[in-house]
Amino acid sequence: MKPSVIVVILCLIVLQTNCEDKCHPKCICQTKILRCLGFTQDDIESDAFANSITTDLERIHITDGNIQELPRNLVGSCADDSSYHLDSLVKLDLQNNMIQKINGQTLHCMKNLEELNLANNQWNVSTVHTRTFTNIQQLKKLNLSNALHDQIDSRDHIKHLRLVFLESGLDKLEVLALDNNKFSVYDKDTANVMCTFSALKRLNLAHNILPSLTFYHVKCLTHLEYLDVSYNSISTFEDYSNHNGLLFSLDQIKKTSNVSVNFIGNEFDCDCHLQGFHDWLKRTEVHVFQKNKLTCHDGLLFNRTIMSVQSAEFKCFSVNSSSNRSGNKAAIGVLVTMFVLLAIFLSAIAYIKRDTIKHFVTSFKRPSMAKKHLLGNYSSVNNENATDIEV
């Protein structure tokens, strides 16, 4: 046991107020809760911080700082003696720290951790440290809202996160927040990874730029209660008969769980392709959040609520659709006029140059000569090229 830890434990037993000496100046140390504000890299690696940690802690908040890299054994370590086993710790809050790097052995020896908040950071997800979450198997809530590095393509983030998640096996996870991350792809591979979170109840994908979601498995996310895809870039849906599509999958999930979905803030394109979504909205038992407020963003039905439109009104653009009719007529008129003028012009030229044309036509009666000449030229060009290469 380290001397510092003995001091902490002793002072805890003897007189609790004295323990404040053992608290990092930027922290508030209570028996079960530790709060540290405005930490820097030096603070997180300091002895003063290490001394602020006790095995009684249930919640640790280290927020609003500037910590580039989370070191190994951030708060606990199992390699050392039992004074570093944080078995009571259930919540670790690391939001707002500009964290870029999370070491593979950062989250060690907090085996009962249930909630991890990494929101509002700049995590550059690394494929070197795919085992980031493997030691926190009891995790129920993971907050990665706006957690990823701004200057890295979201497709890379997704690719790397997939590896990290696949390695983690978080089968107790109930809440996963991935909102505000500029995610642009949710494909089969992503769906496969989500499937490993077999206890997932709430999935937040709001405020990304997803144009569509592939859900893929009939038996996946069977406990899902809330899917938030509000404020994304969904403008239309795949045909319902495509069983990888979101709507079909939600109906499947509904068989085992009272699932709700939020589509608010997407810009729906109300043409013939959206009719399937409209019909689904009308018939589905899935609870759709503010169903009556989903509106058409484009086309003839602009600003109408989708629920108020009749199935037959969802049409694809055609030449005779009323708003285009007059415009089209004008365009056709202009084209016809130009064509007539061109015909008149060409006839006039033909008449004036009738002698030249006659001469031109007769010249075609000697084609063999012309052809030979052309072929000769062509083969000589080829030979020239061949010599060039040899030289």
Task: Return residues touching ligand NAG (CB under 6 A).
Answer: 95, 117, 119-120, 124, 126, 143, 145, 149, 151-152, 175, 177, 204, 258, 260, 287, 303, 315, 318, 320-321
Choose between 316 and 344: whose C-beta lies nearer to ligand NAG. Answer: 316
CB of 119 to ligand NAG, least distance (A): 4
CB of 134 to ligand NAG, least distance (A): 19
- Identify the DSSP state of 71: P
CB of 236 to ligand NAG, least distance (A): 19
Distance CA 75, CA 247 (A): 43
Distance CA 180, CA 148 (A): 9
Sheet holding 287-288, edge to edge: 27-29, 33-37, 59-63, 91-93, 115-117, 141-143, 175-177, 202-204, 226-228, 260-262, 287-288
Distance CA 22, CA 12 (A): 10
Q: Are 85 and 52 in contact (CB under 8 A)?
A: no
Choose between 34 and 119: whose C-beta lies nearer to ligand NAG. Answer: 119
CB of 95 to ligand NAG, least distance (A): 5
CB of 391 to ligand NAG, least distance (A): 46
**Cα dihedral value 5, 7, 11, 13, nearest 10:** 60
Choose between 318 and 326: whose C-beta lies nearer to ligand NAG. Answer: 318
| Helix, coil or strand: residue 41 | helix
Burial 114-146 (b: 16+ CB within 10 A, else e): bbbbbbbbbbbbbeebbebbebbeebbbbbbbb
Lookup result for tokens 């603070």: 43
CB of 255 to ligand NAG, least distance (A): 13
CB of 187 to ligand NAG, least distance (A): 23
Choose between 196 and 260: whose C-beta lies nearer to ligand NAG. Answer: 260
Q: Kind of pairing, strands 226-228 and 141-143?
A: unpaired
Choose between 83 and 232: whose C-beta lies nearer to ligand NAG. Answer: 232
What are the DSSP calls for 311-367, one per residue? Answer: GGG-----TT-HHHHHHHHHHHHHHHHHHHHHHHHHHHHHHHTHHHHHHHHHHTT-H
CB of 145 to ligand NAG, least distance (A): 4
Choose between 124 and 284: whose C-beta lies nearer to ligand NAG. Answer: 124
Comparing C-alpha atoms, which of 50, 44, 62, 2 is closest to residue 23? Answer: 50
- What ranges make up the beta strands (E) of 166-320? 175-177, 202-204, 226-228, 260-262, 268-269, 287-288, 296-298
Choose between 60 and 175: whose C-beta lies nearer to ligand NAG. Answer: 175
Choose between 4 and 103: whose C-beta lies nearer to ligand NAG. Answer: 103
Rg of the chain over all Cα atoms, to the nearest angstrom: 34
CB of 68 to ligand NAG, least distance (A): 10
CB of 302 to ligand NAG, least distance (A): 7
Residues 6+ apart with CB under 8 A from 168: 131, 132, 133, 134
Choose between 24 and 149: whose C-beta lies nearer to ligand NAG. Answer: 149
Choose between 122 and 138: whose C-beta lies nearer to ligand NAG. Answer: 122
